[in-house]
Amino acid sequence: MKKKWITGLTAALFIAGFGISAIAAENPPDALLMNACTKCHDSKKICNNLGKKDQAAWKSTIQRMVKKGAALSSAEQDAVSLYLFNLVPNSEPVCPKGK
Strand (E) or helix (H) holding 14: helix 2-26
Contact in structure between 77 and 59 (CB atoms under 8 Å): yes
- The pLDDT tens digits for 66-84 are 999 999 999 999 999 999 9
Q: Considering the entire predicted model, what is its pTM?
A: 0.71
Total Cβ atoms within 10 A of residue 79: 19
Q: What is the secondary structure of 21-82 as a DSSP string? A: HHHHHHS-HHHHHHHHHTTTS-THHHHTTTTT--HHHHHHHHHHHHHTT----HHHHHHHHH
Residue 28 has pLDDT above 90, yes or no: yes
Show the domains of the chain with their CATH numbers.
28-86 (1.10.760.10)
- The pLDDT tens digits for 30-64 are 999 999 999 999 999 999 999 999 999 999 999 99
Q: How confident is the model over 80-94, as a mean pLDDT?
A: 95
